[in-house]
Structure 1
Amino acid sequence: MHCWYPPSIPRHSSSSLQHDVLQKFTNDNGDFNLRHSKDLRGLLSLHDMSHLNMGEASLYKANEFSSKHLKFALQYLEPNLARYVMKSLDHPYHVSLRQYKARHHLSYLQNLPTRHTAIEKLALAEFQMKKLQHQSEMQEIKRWWVDLGLSQEIPAARDQVLKWYMWSMTILEGFSFSRYRVEATKVISMVYIVDDIFDLVATQEELCLFNEAIKMWDLAAAESLPSYMISCYKALYTITNDIADMVRKEHGLNPINHLKQAWATLFDGFMIEGKWLSTNQVPTSEDYLRNGVITSGAPLLFMHLLFMLGHDLTDDNNDHILRVISCPAKIMRLWDDMGSAKDELQEGLDGSYKDLYQRENPHADAEKHMLDMIAGEWEDLNRECFSQTKSTLPPSFMGASLNFARMVSIMYGYDDEQKLPALEDYTRMLLF
């Protein structure tokens, strides 16, 4: 095997650049040269680059070629390097969290019998600084959550502050986004609580009143609700208005109408799910998925993030923003529905795209179909984020969308024991 060094790929690879790189691996007929099958560094770079696919046939071939020969090479590598290659196969660069990949790479370098460079030491110091900041943010959120008291008032609802913060910590990278990570976690927590109220706690009559009150967006409208709903409504109302005030002061925008509409759309989505369940109505897999994208909560979260990051919705960017939001939301819904494992503290009956698709196509491989759909959404997301003719959004928002999609496989990567080993590893390395 050739001498190996960590692979790197450009963040914004264009089709022309990909073509230039691939020419180094292929012959005149476009087939991959077998003489490259032992170039470990090249194979790792090729495998990483193949996940920047926007639908190019050459990158499908690149993925197949690199995966095949990297898996074959595993049996001949020393254990430390074999673990690194396996981790690279399981978590390719572009579809994985950069902090997570970087931390694993540093761990690999620390195990090498060489002196650590100044850059490696600086990287480790930066990780430690980020860890301290994230721990401080986590403590602030815990205090807010305890003071809010919803976990005591609604015992059936989930109480997973750490898990909710991991979403925000992942989506928004950088020291300057600390305030936004805290506020985003509050939004995420309310999505989970409202979901559980709809699934586990309220009657259909109470939910109708709850839904009407959200559309009115007035604390007085909540007075007729049960006490636990009033508490939830007040918390949701306060969080959203606080974020709108922050956006107005920092960016000169007033997003409250967009944010109110986003909450109303989420509640309508939950009402549709409830109607299906209460009337024993079986939706088509397409109708379920269309509504499931909304009830994932991702579109609502991204609407808050869009304004917190200082951007606005316009006639020119509206369709583009909706597509950038839709891709990671659909990836999340499909991943969540693909496995039989459920959230360990959630007993609701939300339905499942996998079950519905299997019902409609009894002889099909539903899981393969869903993995193909996820791959297709990644291609669409790459196209929206990296195509020079489409990409008009700022890097901060596109980066948040990509990071959300990258986090999905970590957050829903259950093993055979219905545990989340990747999430536990990620949390341990970057927070504790």
Structure 2
Amino acid sequence: MQEGLTHVRNILNQRRHQKSASGREVMITVDNLKRLCIDHYFVEEIQSAMDVACMDLLHSDDLLDATLSFRLMREAGHDVSADDVLRKFTGDAGEFKLALSKDIRGLLSLHDMSHLSIGGEALLHKAKRFSSKHLASAIRHLEPGLARYVRQSLDHPYHLSLMQYKARHHLSYMQTLPNRDTAAMEELAAAEFQLNKLMHRKEMQEVTRWWVDLGLAQEIPEVRDQVLKWYMWSMTAIQGASFSRHRVEIAKIISLFVVVDDILDVIATTEELSLFTEAVKMWNTTVANSLPSCMRACYMALYTVTNEIADMVEKEHGLNPLNHLRKAWAVLFDGFMLERKWLLAIDQVPTAEEYLRNGVITSGVPLAFAHYFVLLGNNQSNEALSDDIHYVISCAAKIIRLWNDIVSAEDEPHKGLDGSYRDLYLMENPRCSLGDVEAHMRGLIACEWEELNRECFCRRTFSSSFTQACLNLARMTGVMYSYDKEHRLLILEEYTRMLLL
């Protein structure tokens, strides 16, 4: 591993300093490191390389050079204008020049760039339509390896997809290229991949042992017993060997959230839900004794795990976040109570916007990220995490909630009681068809992506680890809700086999 790191570092340094090496070669090397998920080993070298090459290429008349440098610079947080970069590739009418449709590598880069919109960038929307149309048309004329890569890029755009998933496809594509000089990078990526697989297997075993010992799946047959799936959320959102403990603890929180959700959906009466909510707010095991046995077992599990996380944070960072974590659970239960109120009140139907606002809470995303926030050692009194859920969290939550409603969560063994944005929007807009509503919902998802991009690339309110986890959670949505005609999650199955099994 160390030999591979040295070899790749030497290649990158040589290309930075070689007079014969073009800026494009340097940027493609940086891009390959990022796509193979090994860029974290070369942070300083990459920054130095970008300082030298990116600005020169940004104003290039070559489509690949200009769009690649723009994407790398925006991902790194630089203030770059999409219009300034793209205007030279459009004609008098503001449309992209047809001659660009023959430049497949340029179109692929344009397509990647088009998903980095931070709002109000009309040319990026045109770029997405133009590149998607001409890449799809070109597939049947391309050699098989490139055709597969283009199809994969269209189905799973780079920025919207999980980097680990894309890395395997990019590695396979690189290995088909003639006259390649990337063998050292490929070997390092393969070694990194195996190390991560071993680490994730160990984590999964730990989470599975905890889940089996907990016994909730046996005690409460109505709850979903899908601990591998819940760990996948944690595994993909939180990246890096140094965050192994964080992944395990967040997987526990996600599992308990699902148990709570299932109990309240299919078992609990309104009175029992009220008692459960009161017990959570009081945070006292004595109060929990009055709960039905299934709720009491669930309460004791969430009480124990949350207290353990608070103790862990206090030992590592000197601050005890228990009150902050208790509040996160209380807010979740209040959200469930509001859903039950809407369900039972014949004359009180929420608006679609009210439903979505509460759906952010009941998605469980704010709960999980409240725990992750303190595990990172952040002060829970941070003003950015006030009583209102910060938009970097709510964006990911809305994307998950809206996608869940679009596909109707057909992987779940029961029908939930929490309504549907689609149905409520149809009630407010009776002239709309189902297709119109879905288009509207996809538009909302696109807007949330732009807001999430703005936080990731421009504002940077939180640490990169926290923001990246929010981004990865949104990316995971496309894996969790990509059903085929038989309602199977083939991408999730492939992803699980690829990265874990």
**TM-score, length-normalised on structure 2?**
0.81
Q: Does 1:25 align with 2:25?
A: no
Task: Identify the residue that residue 329 of structure 1 maps to in structure 2.
Answer: 397
Deviations 1:101-125 (A, max 9, x none): 1111112234456677121011011
Contact 1:13 1:52 in 2 (8 A): no
CA distance in 2, matches of 1:185, 1:66: 38
Listed as ranges, the matches of 1:251-270 within 5 Å are 251-270=317-336
Superposed CA offset, 1:315-342 (max 9, x none): 5423697111110001000000012452
**Which of 410, 416, 421 is matched with 2:485 structurally?**
416
Q: Distance in 2 between matches of 1:44 and 1:391?
A: 28
Paired residue for 2:343, among 277, 288, 307? 277
List per-residue Cα deviations over 1:250-269 (Å, max 9, x = no partner): 12222111110110010011
Q: Distance in 1 between matches of 2:179 and 2:321?
A: 53
Deviations 1:3-59 (A, max 9, x none): xx8785312354525345425533577542222111111111111111110111121
- 1:359 is displaced (CA, Å) by 2.0
State the match for 2:498 in structure 1. 429
Residue 457 (structure 2) aligns with: 386
Structure 2 vs 1, CA of residues 204 and 321 (structure 1 numbering), >3 Å: closer, same or farther?
closer
Q: Equivalent residues in 2 for 1:30-429 (5 A)?
A: 30-55=94-119, 56-112=121-177, 117-280=183-346, 281-314=348-381, 316-318=383-385, 322-364=390-432, 365-387=436-458, 390-429=459-498
Amino acid aligned to 1:302: F
Aligned equivalents of 1:349 and 1:317: distance in 2?
A: 32
What is residue 56 of structure 2 aligned with on the other side? none
Deviation at 1:72, TM superposition (A): 1.2
Distance change in 2, residues 1:422/1:293 (3 Å): same
Q: Based on CA coordinates, which of the two structures has the bigger radius of gyration?
A: 2
8 Å CA contact 1:198–1:274 kept in 2: the answer is no
Give CA deviations for 1:373-394 in whole Å, capped at 9, x if unaligned: 000000111112211xx32311
After superposition, the Cα gap between the structure-2 partners of 1:19 and 1:250, relative to the gap in structure 1 and judged at 3 Å, is farther
CA distance in 2, matches of 1:284, 1:392: 31
CA distance in 1, matches of 2:299, 2:233: 23
Query: For residues 286 and 191 of structure 2, what CA distance do their matches in structure 1 show?
Result: 51
Q: Distance in 2 between matches of 1:230 and 1:314?
A: 31
CA distance in 2, matches of 1:34, 1:250: 58
Counterpart residue number, 1:16: 80
SS at match of 2:89: coil
Contact 1:341/1:414 (<8 A) preserved: no
Kindly state the Cα deviation for residue 231 of structure 1 after the two structures are TM-superposed: 1.0
Q: For the residues of structure 2 that align with 1:73 and 1:14, how far apart are their CA atoms? A: 33
**What's the CA shift for 1:235?**
0.5
How far residue 314 of structure 1 moved from its aligned partner, in angstroms, is 4.1
Deviation at 1:62, TM superposition (A): 1.2
* 1:287 Cα deviation after fit: 1.4
> Which deviates the most, 179-188 or 318-327?
318-327
Contact kept, 8 Å, 2:366 with 2:389, in 1: the verdict is: no
2: CA distance, partners of 1:407 / 1:24: 35
Higher relative contact order at CA 8 Å, sep ≥6: structure 1 or structure 2?
Answer: 1
TM-score (norm 1): 0.94
8 Å CA contact 1:341–1:418 kept in 2: the answer is no
Gap runs ≥5 in structure 2: 1-27, 33-63
Paired with 2:389 and 2:350, the residues of 1 have a C-alpha distance of 27
Quick one: distance in 2 between partners of 1:180 and 1:345?
29
Tell me if the contact between 2:321 and 2:380 (Cα under 8 Å) persists in the aligned partners. no
> In 2, Cα distance between the equivalents of 1:162 and 1:24?
49
Matched AA of 1:337: D
8 Å contact kept, 2:455–2:461: no
Distance 2:381 2:320 in 1: 13
Change (3 A) 1:312 1:176: same
2:82–2:123 CA contact under 8 A, matched in 1: no
Partner of 1:156, secondary structure, is coil
1:347 Cα deviation from its structure 2 partner: 3.0
Contact kept, 8 Å, 2:392 with 2:455, in 1: the verdict is: yes
- 1:36 is aligned with what amino acid? L
